Chains A and B, each alone.
Chain A
């Protein structure tokens, strides 16, 4: 076994124009090991592996395989050299069978271009048997589960005789059972001599699976550790660069009246799958309600229904006592602010200036942006508004006329959060507000969230559309996050979503990450003792007039 199987030296990658994604990364992979790459989002794990796999060129640095210097211009060359990568998004033809997908691009061709299926089928089948992949080669890919599709991706690479398997966050799309199955298969492959590089940001998985762990942070190689006697805390510290559980100063919550209420929301998607199944929840002024859950368990649909981007099929949404179930987006935005999950896709227009990004929604609600005539915007007023946002929220930007795309991710997110927090709304919907943002910005944004929640005792209950209370007055926040640390440091209550239902209502001091995790994975079923609180809250807010069930 070669101890210097793959060596990467001083790799630098700059994404144009100015993003230093890899900063002198050195990494050595031993032959036949399971080597994990771990780090936060944006730490450079995937970039590093894409450079190795020939998908993107490095700006400088070198790679050698078995002591020979290599540089792959395309994934095809990398695969030919025995290095294969399974991406997060699968690259399969859904209407083809598993067998057809596996041979696609490497068809066994005989004379006159005829396919020589029999031999190839035998080979594919023998690979399945040998590695216990448990696939039926004649199933169509579209009929198989996500876990099976992932195995097809692995099978594709095995068929092409790779020695190195790079798995890019393979567990993100899997259920816990499928994850267990995947790990067993990876161990089998490893036992058969394959080298495995495993990218993840989940500490448990990495500790369970790997021989060696490399930690990356902000484009740099931080440490490479043998997985012997390591604990989560060691890894977490290396990942973040300090003790992780930084506590945001959070005064105790003083809850007031209900500012948001969802009752019995159900939603079926176009494919006929029930995405939300009778979700009821309430948020009171002065509290942060967190929603935990594995992605894809109904959080997305819940946000869509609350913001009005998708029509409510059954159930009811109330903000500040007003029934907004069938009301257009702009009417809801008078009552709530909303930080969307994906700032590039839905939180900004990347090519437009900071001003244009800052005034969105304000342009309709804030009369101070108007010039003399109601239909027109005053350019100077808009610029001053944007400048104020930049100053208040500490956005680092050369000026307010630069396109927002030229700012760093953290600063872009500050613009988005700042824009929303400048609304005088009593209800705040936060969908992954700190995703993909540098640590400094995370802290800043989390402080702002706490400030928005406020702590003033029983803040003057000033309900209704035009609450004139200062921006610092208490608001109720609904925080959707995939990051348990964030939920535990911010939320006053944590609701857990699983398969479109809220299965638990927990209070952070009395609960643990493990308990939340078990609910998230469906290991624990919903327990009725957790329910009374949410229902009491919603009952207290219901007025007899708004009882009629809305069903479209």
Chain B
């Protein structure tokens, strides 16, 4: 565990250095840029609050991908599930007007259910028609994309505006803000804890983890693989749907706007990959990526480095961390093999020196 943490840290460190070199090579003031990056994401109350708000959807999409990949369900439908979750909450928030204590929990349920439903379609296709969820979830993304676009530019379009978006939801569904920190962050923390308990402590989570490593072993051991697959898809979809729902419930706009959600879903996939599908690493990387994205905006203000640099940095981190994970393992194993071979060679030479032809020599274990 700590060895993994060390290699990950080393990977992140090297990636940050590489980013420094890129900045420097492009003629930007490298060190001041980094200073700005972190001061605008970590070193003030406002910065931290912005980072946490940014992290809210990333934690959830990251968990969504980690639950999927970690149990061998290739759910790449986070973008679609995200949009459907958001749209469902938008619809619910417009149609119903209830007091907040009732409406907020209901809206959260709606977001979870909508995301789960969208992932459930893919799970159903897999079980009924043996269609690969890898393809169907990707295709469902397009359907969700155009379906929501149709809704916001047609039936649900707010005629008071000039671009495609829905009306505002009723205030009962709005999450409170405390000094700029949205309660959405708290919701996502609760979701994180629940997911962690399920994944790392429950029987179902154990079966999912085994399924992710060796599905035959799980089946032989008596785990109901088909049902577990569906369950994993549903949870994965629900988390992505919640991420979308919280975008409507939190923040300032409280309506479904065209182009909403941007890259949160794919960032989540990336986060799950660097985190090797672990729940705690997923949470940490989500915070880290949120910090980089938030800080990049400040960096743009201070040193004119375009905020797209955050994307470059994220990509480098993914590459370095994933590469360092595999390569250190291979490196260590090969090193061990070489040492063993050398030890065997030396041992035998000594044996031979002592007396020729001894049949039982330095024995391996």
Contact = CB atoms under 8 A, between A and B. Distances in A.
Interface of A: 10, 12-18, 20, 23-24, 59-60, 218-219, 222, 307, 309, 328-330, 332-333, 338, 340, 345-352, 356, 359-361, 363-364, 371, 375-377, 379, 408
A219 B333 CA distance: 20
Contacts of A14: 337-338, 340-341, 344
A219 B206 contact: no
Given A356-B209, A379-B201, A408-B365, A348 B336 contact: no
Interface stretch (B9-17, B159-167, B210-218): B210-218
B341 A17 contact: no
B220 A309 contact: yes
12 contacts: A12-B341, A17-B334, A24-B344, A328-B224, A329-B219, A330-B222, A345-B214, A346-B214, A346-B217, A350-B213, A375-B202, A377-B206
Interface string B286-324: 000000000000000000000000000000000000000
Contact of B340 (A18, A222, A363, A375): A18
B76 interface: no
Pick the 10 closest A-B CB pairs, nearest first: A330-B222, A59-B341, A16-B333, A349-B213, A17-B333, A17-B336, A360-B221, A20-B364, A14-B337, A349-B214
Contacts, number: 115
Given A17-B332, A17-B337, A24 B213 contact: no
A346 B216 contact: yes
Contact of B222 (A12, A15, A59, A329): A329
Max count, chain B CB within 10 A of own CB: residue among A14, A20, A218, A347: A14
Nearest to A371: B201
B209 A12 contact: no
A381 to B, nearest CB: 12
B202 A10 contact: no
Interface string B340-361: 1110110010000000000101
B203 A363 contact: yes
Contacts of A309: 219-220
B190 interface: no
A454 to B, nearest CB: 25
Given A349-B214, A371-B201, A356 B337 contact: no
Contacts of A23: 344, 348, 364
A364 B337 contact: no
Nearest to A15: B337
B337 A59 contact: yes
A60 B349 CA distance: 13
A359 B345 contact: no
Chain A, interface SS category: mixed
A376 B345 contact: no
B223 interface: yes
Contacts of B361: 24
A351 B361 CA distance: 33
B30 interface: no
Contacts of B338: 14, 59
Contacts of B337: 14-18, 59
Contacts of A360: 210, 217-218, 221
Given A360-B210, A364-B203, A307 B336 contact: no
A349 to B, nearest CB: 4
Max count, chain A CB within 10 A of own CB: residue among B204, B206, B222, B336: B222
B197 interface: yes
Contacts of B224: 328, 330
Contacts of B207: 363
A16 B331 CA distance: 10
Contacts of A408: 365
A545 to B, nearest CB: 27
Given A15-B337, A16-B333, A364 B222 contact: yes
Contact of B197 (A348, A349, A376): A376
B217 A363 contact: no
A352 B341 CA distance: 27
A347 B201 contact: no
A20 B365 CA distance: 9
A350 B210 CA distance: 10
Contacts of A20: 340-341, 344, 364
Given A24-B345, A330-B223, A347-B217, 6 more contacts: A17-B340, A59-B341, A346-B214, A346-B216, A348-B217, A352-B213
Contacts of B219: 309, 329
A347 B222 CA distance: 12
Contacts of B345: 10, 12, 24, 60
Chain B, interface SS category: helix
A352 B209 contact: yes
B364 A348 contact: no
Nearest to A419: B221
Interface in B181-238: 197, 201-204, 206-207, 209-210, 213-214, 216-224
B336 A16 contact: yes
A17 B202 CA distance: 33
A112 B192 CA distance: 65
Nearest to A347: B217
A379 B209 CA distance: 15
B364 A340 contact: no
B1 to A, nearest CB: 8
Contacts of B223: 330, 364
A345 B216 contact: yes
Contacts of B348: 10, 23-24
Contacts of B332: 17
Contacts of B204: 375
A16 to B, nearest CB: 4
A17 B336 CA distance: 5
Contacts of B365: 408
B206 to A, nearest CB: 6
A350 B213 CA distance: 8
A379 B197 CA distance: 12
A16 B203 contact: no
Contacts of A13: 341
Nearest to B348: A24
A345 B219 CA distance: 11
Contacts of B340: 14, 17-18, 20
A547 B341 CA distance: 63
Given A18-B337, A24-B344, A349-B210, A333 B201 contact: no
B336 A376 contact: no
Contacts of B222: 328-330, 332-333, 361, 364
A309 B219 CA distance: 8
A214 B155 CA distance: 82
Contacts of A348: 214, 217
Nearest to A343: B217
Contact of A12 (B220, B330, B344): B344
A52 to B, nearest CB: 18
Contacts of B359: 222
Contacts of A328: 222, 224
A237 to B, nearest CB: 13
Nearest to A396: B365
A376 B197 CA distance: 8
B341 A359 contact: no
B198 to A, nearest CB: 8
A275 to B, nearest CB: 19
A371 B206 CA distance: 14
A373 to B, nearest CB: 9
A59 B336 CA distance: 12
A18 B336 contact: yes
Contacts of B336: 16-18
A144 to B, nearest CB: 31
Contacts of B364: 20, 23, 218-219
Nearest to B197: A376
Nearest to A218: B364
A328 B216 CA distance: 15
B210 to A, nearest CB: 5
